[in-house]
Every structure is written in C-alpha cells, then in structure tokens.
Amino acid sequence: LPLRDDDITLCGQPVSHLEHADDVLIMSTTPEGLQAHLEGLAAWAALSFVRVNTSKTWAYLAGVPHGEPFVFLNGDHVTFKECATYVGMTLGGGDRRLFRAHYTEQAKKARRTAAVCFAVEGLTGALPIDIARKVYKARVESHLISGADVSPDATDEPVNELETQQVYFLRRLLGLGTRSMLTPLYSETDILPIRYRRADIALRYLEY
C-alpha cells in the first residue's frame, strides 16, 4: 500500500497493514487514509486475482469516537464493530485501551475452565496439588497469559481481572477462604503470580 502522512508509525516506521495468512488488518489515523488503503487493497486484489470477502470485513474505531465515518470496499459499506477478534486478540469493547476487552474475555474463559476443573472433584475426589498444578498449567493459565507477548500490561485494572481468577483457582485448590493471605497460594503451589508470569513472557518475547 502507498505510504501516507496519516499512516500509523512505529519507531518512525510507517505501518499501514498487518498480515497473518489470509487475514489482513489495515490501519490509519484518519477515515480518508483508511479509505485510500481499502481502495489500494481492492486494486491489488484485482491485479492478483484475489477476491476480498467484504461480508467478513469489519472496521473498528479506536480512541474517543467522533461519529462513525463511512468507508467502502469494492463499493460495499464496511460495517463498524465495537468489539471483534483478530488472530486471537479481542479488540475494542468501547474502551480507550485497544486490548481491554481481551483481558475481560480471557478472565471469563479462565473462570469457566476453573469451574469445570473443580466440578470433576465430585467424581474423583480432591485433586492432589501436583495434579491440580498440571491441570492449571494446561487449562487455566493458557487463558491468563493470552496476549502477554503482544500486549504488555500497562495498567492495573485489566490485570486485576486475571489476577482475581488465578487467586480464585489457587484458593479452591488449597481449600482456603476468600480472605486468606496471598503469599501461601504461590509458595505452596510453586506457581508464579500472574503479573510476574506475564511480565516474564513479555521480556522473553522482546529478547527473542
């Protein structure tokens, strides 16, 4: 796509689009820029004998909305969504922070998964800590660390939702009440607090 002055820049480098297999994300800081890039995409697709599925195309307005702009792709109006998912990351949710909804969605998934894990105890009896730790690592933590490599935790509120679900699981595992101390939850299970776990993943990703 041709570079424009209203393109998003990352460390001084213009970034107009992201591509993952056949999923394309086009970005701009203005409606005019977005429309120009959509026209560029349509022109490229026509020359490359590629068909763009407009029915699966959506737009998201980040930041403070100032009315919904009109953008078109191949003559069809592109629908704006408040929340959508791109390559596993939930965008939107009516918040200034782009990935705020992703934290909420993953916290809900972790809660549901934890509930299912403990429901099994009705058939098997209480899970030993070493077994429950493996279940946590395989089924619950995967939701709590989702997106840690691409969305470093910049504010407390979103991470609090994930932390609440981790604490809930560990307290249920150890048979402790809702007002128990937090330190034993990690020392007795050898599980990192989710804030440190996500920070470790982000740093390892940056190192890579």
Cα distance between residue 169 and residue 174, in whole Å: 9
Other Cβ atoms less than 10 A from the Cβ of 32: the count is: 13
Q: For residue 152, tell me if it sits in a domain.
A: yes
User: Please, what is the angle between helix 156-174 and helix 100-119, to 10°?
Assistant: 10
Could you tell me the CA-to-CA distances from 195 to 47, 102, 126, 134, 141 in Å, in that order? 48, 16, 28, 19, 12
Report pLDDT for 66.
66
pTM, whole model, 2 decimals?
Answer: 0.82
Same domain, 199 and 113: yes
Cα distance between residue 169 and residue 163, in whole Å: 10
Same domain, 115 and 187: yes
Report pLDDT for 206.
87
59's tokens: 């737009």
Same domain, 192 and 116: yes
Q: For residue 159, tell me if it sits in a domain.
A: yes
Domain region containing 166: 100-207
Same domain, 70 and 138: no
Report pLDDT for 122.
83
Cα distance between residue 50 and residue 35, in whole Å: 19
Spatial CB neighbours of 60, under 8 Å, sequence gap ≥ 6: 80, 81, 82, 84, 91, 92
Report pLDDT for 14.
93
Q: For residue 105, tell me if it sits in a domain.
A: yes
Report pLDDT for 105.
94
Same domain, 72 and 164: no
Q: What is the pLDDT tens value at each position of the chain, 208 positions in all?
A: 889 999 999 889 999 999 988 889 999 999 999 999 999 999 999 999 988 888 889 888 876 666 778 899 998 999 888 888 888 898 876 667 788 889 999 999 999 999 999 998 888 888 888 999 999 999 999 999 999 998 888 888 999 999 999 999 999 999 999 999 999 999 999 999 999 999 999 999 988 7
Same domain, 106 and 67: no
Same domain, 119 and 48: no
125 conformational bin, left if phi > 0, alpha if psi -120 to 50, beta if neither: left
Q: For residue 87, tell me if it sits in a domain.
A: no
- Could you give phi then psi for residue 205, rounded to 5 degrees? -65, -40
